[in-house]
Structure formats: structure tokens, C-alpha cells
Amino acid sequence: MHLRTLKRSWILAAVAFLMLLTQTRSLFAHAILVRSTPAKNATVAGGEVEFALHFNSRIDAPRSLLILVLPDSKTTPLPVEKTDSLETLGAKASHLADGVYTLRWQVLANDGHISRGEIPFTVKNAK
């Protein structure tokens, strides 16, 4: 009976350890951009452009930044919009003329680390 109890305790300890490893991995994951709209190097129609950046983990949207670099290299911050997902940042920009733009992003992940990146894209209005 004592051996059976000891064996059961070891099994429970192993299961608890594996669960802890699984949870710890998701808690300490850096935010990595998995897809975006527009996609990197995409060409989009002008007018209003909607941005959606999807990450592999939760991000702190209120502490995240989106900056649009215009064709003349001037920058303009974009207000981050509320989305349905804790892994997504959204924003809009309107009245974009033809040219090459870059969306710079910076996010704070739940592990406390900051991730940054850029998404270049082209605006081409129909004539």
C-alpha cells in the first residue's frame, strides 16, 4: 500500500510539473507578428486603409504603438483601436496618396518584453 501511494504521488508530481511547463511557456512568450493586413510589401487601394496586426500571444494594446511613415519620410502616430482579440492591434488611416508607406509597430507582451517591427506597403489609387 505504501508503494502504491508513493507511485501515485510521483505520477501526480510529474503531471503537475508538465502542466507548469506548459503554462510557463505561454506566459513568457515574446509577441511575434504572425500576420498583418496589409501584408508585408502588399499593394492596397488608397482612401481609407485598415490595419490589423495579429500576434502569437497576448499584447498590451494600450501600451503599444503604431506609427505610419509617409512617402516623404514624415511620421504620424495612429491611434490603436479596440479589437475583439487580445492578440490583435487595429488602426485606420485615411486619405493616403500613392506611394510607399511603412507601418512601424511596437508592442508590449505579457512577459514584459517589447517587440518591434515594420510592414512596408504601397498605396496605388485607381485612376
**Overall pTM surpassing 0.85 (yes/no):** no
Instruction: Report how far apart, in Å, the C-alpha atoms of 36 and of each of 70, 94, 98 are.
Output: 18, 18, 20
> Which pLDDT tens digit goes with each residue over 75-114?
999 999 989 999 999 999 999 999 999 999 999 998 889 9
SS3 122: strand
Helix locations, the chain, DSSP H = 2-27
Per-residue pLDDT for 127 more than 50? yes
CATH 3.10.20.30 fits 33-123, yes or no: no
Cell of 52: 490589423
> Which pLDDT tens digit goes with each residue over 25-58?
444 568 999 999 999 999 999 889 999 999 999 9
Report d(CA 11, CA 123) in Å as an integer. 59
Instruction: Work out the end-to-end distance of the chain between its first and last CA atoms, rounded to an integer number of angstroms.
Output: 84
